[in-house]
Structure 1
Amino acid sequence: MRPAADLGDEDRGRLLSGGHHDPHSLLGAHPVRGGVQLRVLRPHATAVTILAKGLRTELHDDGDGFFSGVLPLRTMPEYRLLVAYPDHAEGYETDDPYRFLPALGDLDLHLIGEGRHEELWNALGAHPLTHQGVTGTRFTVWAPNARGVRVVGDFNYWDGTGFPMRSLGSTGVWELFLPGVGEGALYKFEIMRPDGSHTLRADPMARATEVPPANASVVTRSRHEWTDHEWMAHRGDRPVHEAPLSVYEVHLASWRPGLTYRQLAEQLPRYVRELGFTHVEFMPVAEHPFGGSWGYQVTGFYAPTSRMGSPDDFRFLVDSLHRAGIGVLVDWVPAHFPRDDWALAEFDGRPLYEHGDPSRAAHPDWGTLEFDYGRKEVRNFLVANAVYWCEEFHIDGLRVDAVASMLYLDYSREDGQWSPNEHGGRENLDAVAFLQEMNATVYRRCPGVVTIAEESTAWDGVTRATHHVGHGGFGGLGFGLKWNMGWMHDSLGYIEHEPVHRKFHHNEMTFSMVYAYSENYVLPISHDEVVHGKRALVSKMPGDWWQQRANHRAYLGFMWAHPGKQLLFMGQEFAQGAEWSEGHGPDWWLLDPSYAAEPDHRGVRDLVRELNTVYAGTPALWQQDTVPDGFDWVDGGAAEDNVLAFLRFDRDGAPLLAVSNFSPVVRHGFRLGVPGSVPVWSEVLNTDEERFGGSGVVNADPVKTEQAESHGRRTSVTLTLPPLATLWLRPA
């Protein structure tokens, strides 16, 4: 073996500093005149020996961790390295990462460059695979502004000097295949910024992470075998807006603090099924460093939080819920990300995922950064992420957080703090295009999935199809459902008043029907309404403890009958009096019979079960939620009585009569106009039943329709209305 050609000070310096874009051109095996030149970079090694068929040759030590030589061979050998260190003189045998071709294909690179890679997670990140007959892990990362990128991890003692990645052209993607690295390995990317400084970053595409506060990425591969084939085949049989949808919102880490995903899978499906909810909605499960953010400040968009187990453990939980007949919705947070210096912020030394204009990048409310929706690679990162959760974890719906903050350039900003769009308006046109693309892609690829917008303004067409243009000149955003924040705000405002004052606020309970069909709505009593001094739902209610619970039950009865789907946050199903805290979760001890012999809390929980049971079995309550034919006021103007009465209809015209009495007095002989086609009505739900903790004022016998005009109808019924209660009647 003769010495190799001198590397040159510039190339040597760039490799050692981590600033070389093409290390494979210098390291590994290359044909030269008279043989094959091999060069290896192994800092701290005392010797490197080339092992090939019939060949064992020690390379020359060139200093600074470089070893090289020219072998008198005509063809490239398949070789391995034997690397010796001071504490291991016999050496470690390994493959040379720099003898492999790129492990990422041209089609992947083309789609990444176009911003159209709908399975981006299969191209970027860390992937265990077999490449050129050798098992290892392919590492890829998008860092277009980097001068160089190296892989560091527990497999190289967090020293990436000997593991520089190569740039794959104009896409900004860097790649390196590391033989012998497999599942469970911890890693990060060491990036040389444009100014020559270095930053150590977690993988934006990591599919698993260390348990916070540790923040390294973890090489992973799914081995879960799904058993929810029946669920997946039929979840899209009925459009979601024409189906029953009753959602139990859960913060997984605090529902039963300390439980893992697999332990939750033993308890949560049974509990939710017993209560009759059709779906659960998880507050964000993507990895986040600060538990107090409840998951709304995400650093690992492709990794379920490791606090409760592995990604496959999370799959097991979803699988278990599906087998129990329960759909799974997940909060998804594409509006912003935190500024942690090991995550996305100025990832490669310059604004990359965030907008280049600091005034556009900084979120004014949360101290976070907003995504640059106009950059195709960023849009691709987020669109693919939405698809990822639906396809890889069989998620049935995404509730998209903080949509309003994305749509408006002046969101929470004063005059002079924002610039109008190209048309002079305040709409964020890039965000509009992103949301439309995301929704269109998810609905095309994932049959049966629903997207739900948390959007607090009167933006026209949130749940309109993307190709339908609305009054503002924009196409619809393409969501399936939208949270009805107006209904939530108005109805809670009403119910918090003492009954004697409610007549002055009666319109707050009726106004929602003015716009009820402008979008496809969900009625949300979410975590946001039971924290930060807002009080738990039952604690918002006026009066003594009996009246508070009665108001609580009456309100839920009204909510379940109102057009729109339902969402209730954990703890509110049994009238927990304390605000939610992520530190200890619901006060389950309130349900213990030894705590209270009376059904104070158990009664409310039993009511929620009954509400869901009757709701699911009554198409009038959900089949025509989004069309006027499904609703008719009987009496929306009984302000002095604090009474609201309306009819719901299914597609065949079968009615349900819902009556709420929000005053603390019994109203005898209360006459209401009803359709003459129904001769006899039967009470199917009454929130004042004793088993729910009520006073037991019920209409026990069937109620006959009389030929007496009332409320513009020729026929009517007379009912006894319990105090602070809602009752439902159906044709007997």
Structure 2
Amino acid sequence: MITETAVLDAVAAGEHHDPHSILGAHPSVDDTGHPVTVVRALRPLAETVTALLTDGGEVPLMHVASGVWEGTVRHEMGPYRIAATYADAPNWTAADPYRHSPTLGELDLHLIAEGRHERLWEVLGSQHRLFEGDPGTAFAVWAPNARAVRVVGDHNGWDGRLHAMRSMGASGVWELFIPEVDTGTRYKYEILTPSGDWILKADPMARLAEVPPATASIVTSSAHTWNDGAWMTRRAATHAVAQPLSVYEVHLGSWRPGLGYRELADELIGHIAQTGFTHVEFMPVAEHPFGGSWGYQVTGYYAPTHRFGSPDDLRYLIDRLHQAGIGVILDWVPGHFPKDAFALARFDGRPLYEHPDPRRGEHRDWGTYIFDYGRNEVRNFLVANALYWLEEFHADGLRVDAVASMLYLDYSRGDGEWEPNVHGGRENLEAIRFLQEVNATAYRAHPGVLMFAEESTSFPGVTAPTDRAGLGFGFKWNMGWMNDSLVYMQRDPIHRSHHQGEMTFSFVYSFGENYVLPISHDEVVHGKGSLLSKMPGDHAAKLANVRGYLAYMWGHPGKNLLFMGQEFGQIAEWSESRGLDWWLLDQPSHAQLQGFVGAMNRVYRGQAPLWERDDDGTSFTRIGAPDWDPNVVAFVRRDAHSGHIAVVSNFSGTTRTGLILDLPRAGAWNEVLNTDAAEFGGHGAGNLGLVYATENEGAPPRATLTVPALSTLWLRHARDPHMPTPSHA
């Protein structure tokens, strides 16, 4: 019999680090030396407590102290239940959580400590399962500084004293299997900090959380059956840099407010079918407490936001998109996390997920904490999280937010506010190693996925392989091109001739990385206005500028991304609190702009010179002489099979007739896209669908063509002259 009062008091209070050593069934010997099994259960305030055996036998337990009851069985015990009666409360019967062995094995604990458990979500968090004969839920959480941890929730009336967890030693993991806890159960962890305070925390590994502002975690499991096998097989065999890629960036809550994941499927697929994008990119779908953060202040890294449905509802949406031939990219935020008291911040009473040094562990501008990338378990938490979205939700890629803030120790810090690395430099070496690991691991585990960096500096080798000291991303957002080109386009056309370099400087470095050209949500908020509203001139001129700019962008080396609403000329600045102005499509000019985007995407996808060699500088040549015009930007793109497309943009407000242009080949060049076509809302000026380049002794072949004002032409060389339908390939 256990007689130590302090031990029993700790067990009764749920403060013992190893309650399984006291409670549950334990082999022992009686006074005569015969083997017996001692059963102990914690039932405070009970009048009687009995162990109910599977063979129908009953073992009465005696009260020892502090609500701990004990009895003896003279044989080995299998599964059993505990029954208790009360004077002023209903009788109670349940399986005993403390009869179970640990749900994590030694290998799991070793891999967690080493930071190498690539399927961390399968062992930490809450796992609904059948375990040692009992249906229930296994709970496991990493909290190495905790003195005790308890599971509280719907299953115990939010009184955690009956469900104290067991410490798994030096790993810092706490574990408990609770029978009869089903999916849908809300729960949190009560953590006894080193200072002696109890704090209440959501599960960092929860795969579902309550709809904000509620903050509890929820036990869940998946019943989704995937039907995208053909897509996944094809993706694994795809070299993404040599494929067409045009991305439609979506904020789920404001694309069409009120739609959940499942309702979005039909409408979003229909819209993408019209507009022709190859992929959608969802702004962060991980759970976040404040909608105004757009998802970039994550509190539930493994939990799709419950605002729009269940995790299986999100799986359904992605599955449907794949079946429709549309890829899915998810925004991912491993650079920082918010200070909300219920989540990761100071998780077990001390800095744990965040770096303990505020010079490295805090973003003062953003009011957030920075992950401790040098700690094995934290790095594992993030690497496994990337794999989780790729594995469990079949995401085709991750766009990593705010990479620059991760790379530099002095990011947004003044003198004396940062500490150099071990070599005296400003680079965050631990964050660099983490990014290399997550990229290398993602590509190894899921061939064909896309990893994007939102990186705004000149950090070298962002898309270089990790075995060549690169960060290992597949693509980098070209923020320089975005800033320069938007500054240029906002100028009155009469002044653009003095600033052509803003549109052409990117040609100098376009092949230094694998780039995506982004017109993202960041460019249409905080007073910047929508893409259409940035453009000079009257409404017709604004629309013409947008068409000409987008066709220039789609022709420029690199892949493409456009934020929702810009495809039909959203006028108002975007706000997450309201939907897009879909009513604009009732106006012909805006419907024509959307029709143009769809036609451009379809032509783009059919023209390999515009995407097949985006990583090869020899696939690109500037053209222009002898008839140079400072408002005209022209270049040629080539594919791997000698196909050529010339991109010719006139950013002035005047149609340029009789423009003489050097082209790399003589013969017919089909006008496969003309942004001034009448069907797109333009004036219909152009070249009747065909341009001829004639042999020119001692000089390249030359063509004379018309380039409408504020427009872009795509010309495709054809061996046999023919007249395609204007603006369609």
TM-score normalised by the chain length of structure 2: 0.95
Amino acid at match of 2:668: V
Which blocks of at least 5 consecutive residues in structure 1 are unaligned? 469-474
Distance 1:324 1:637, change over 3 A: farther
Q: Does 2:640 match 1:644?
A: no
The aligned counterpart of 1:338 is 338
The aligned counterpart of 2:592 is 603
The aligned counterpart of 1:25 is 21
Distance 1:137 1:639, change over 3 A: farther
Cα offset for 1:641? 4.0
Query: Counterpart of 2:466 in 1: which secondary structure?
Result: coil
The aligned counterpart of 1:472 is none
Query: Counterpart of 2:510 in 1: which secondary structure?
Result: coil
The aligned counterpart of 2:172 is 172
* Counterpart contact for 1:18–1:192, Cα < 8 Å: no
Cα offset for 1:79? 2.2
Query: Counterpart of 1:259 in 2: which secondary structure?
Result: coil
Q: Which deviates further from its counterpart, 682-691 or 422-431? A: 682-691
* Counterpart contact for 1:624–1:630, Cα < 8 Å: yes
The aligned counterpart of 2:704 is 718
Q: Which deviates further from its counterpart, 302-311 or 98-107? A: 98-107
**How far apart, CA to CA, are the structure 1 residues paired with 2:237 and 2:26?**
59
The aligned counterpart of 1:588 is 582
Q: Does 2:550 match 1:548?
A: no
**How far apart, CA to CA, are the structure 1 residues paired with 2:177 and 2:689?**
76
* Counterpart contact for 2:59–2:71, Cα < 8 Å: no
* Counterpart contact for 1:666–1:720, Cα < 8 Å: yes
Q: Which deviates further from its counterpart, 264-273 or 629-638? A: 629-638
The aligned counterpart of 1:707 is 695
**1:186-335 alignment, distance < 5 Å:** 186-335=186-335
Q: Does 2:481 match 1:493?
A: no
Which blocks of at least 5 consecutive residues in structure 2 are unaligned? 31-35, 719-729
**How far apart, CA to CA, are the structure 1 residues paired with 2:691 and 2:192?**
79
* Counterpart contact for 1:636–1:646, Cα < 8 Å: no
Distance 1:202 1:31, change over 3 A: same
* Counterpart contact for 2:121–2:205, Cα < 8 Å: yes
The aligned counterpart of 1:76 is 77
Among 509, 515, 524, which residue is 1:515 paired with? Answer: 509
* Counterpart contact for 1:37–1:68, Cα < 8 Å: no
**How far apart, CA to CA, are the structure 2 residues paired with 1:527 and 1:143?**
37
Query: Counterpart of 2:236 in 1: which secondary structure?
Result: coil
Amino acid at match of 2:563: F
Aligned length: 712
Distance 1:336 1:85, change over 3 A: farther
The aligned counterpart of 2:52 is 51
Amino acid at match of 2:559: K
Q: Does 2:372 match 1:372?
A: yes
Distance 1:320 1:44, change over 3 A: farther
Encode CA deviations 1:357-400: one digit per residue, 9 max, x unaligned.
12211113210000000000000000000011001100000000
Encode CA deviations 1:77-109: one digit per residue, 9 max, x unaligned.
5421112345544x2321111111111112111
The aligned counterpart of 2:40 is 39
Amino acid at match of 1:623: E
**How far apart, CA to CA, are the structure 1 residues paired with 2:399 and 2:691?**
42
Query: Counterpart of 1:670 in 2: which secondary structure?
Result: strand
Q: Which deviates further from its counterpart, 696-705 or 295-304? A: 696-705
Query: Counterpart of 1:706 in 2: which secondary structure?
Result: strand
TM-score normalised by the chain length of structure 1: 0.95
**How far apart, CA to CA, are the structure 1 residues paired with 2:341 and 2:12?**
24
Q: Which deviates further from its counterpart, 575-584 or 402-411? A: 575-584
The aligned counterpart of 1:461 is 461
Query: Counterpart of 1:707 in 2: which secondary structure?
Result: strand
The aligned counterpart of 1:440 is 440
Encode CA deviations 1:141-161: one digit per residue, 9 max, x unaligned.
000000000001101000000
Q: Which 4+ residue blocks in structure 1 deviate beyond 6 angstroms?
A: 636-639
Encode CA deviations 1:570-599: one digit per residue, 9 max, x unaligned.
00000111111111121101112xxx3xx2
Amino acid at match of 1:82: A
Distance 1:638 1:496, change over 3 A: farther
The aligned counterpart of 1:557 is 551
Amino acid at match of 2:650: N
* Counterpart contact for 1:251–1:282, Cα < 8 Å: yes
Q: Does 2:569 match 1:575?
A: yes
Distance 1:352 1:557, change over 3 A: same
The aligned counterpart of 1:689 is 677
Q: Which deviates further from its counterpart, 179-188 or 695-704? A: 695-704
* Counterpart contact for 1:248–1:567, Cα < 8 Å: yes
Amino acid at match of 1:58: P
Cα offset for 1:11? 1.1
Distance 1:291 1:115, change over 3 A: same
* Counterpart contact for 1:50–1:59, Cα < 8 Å: yes
Cα offset for 1:537? 0.3
* Counterpart contact for 2:62–2:71, Cα < 8 Å: no
Amino acid at match of 2:669: W
Identical residues among aligned pairs (%): 58
Over aligned residue pairs, what C-alpha RMSD do you find? 1.5
Q: Which deviates further from its counterpart, 446-455 or 634-643? A: 634-643
The aligned counterpart of 2:93 is 93
Query: Counterpart of 1:443 in 2: which secondary structure?
Result: helix
**How far apart, CA to CA, are the structure 1 residues paired with 2:86 and 2:555?**
74
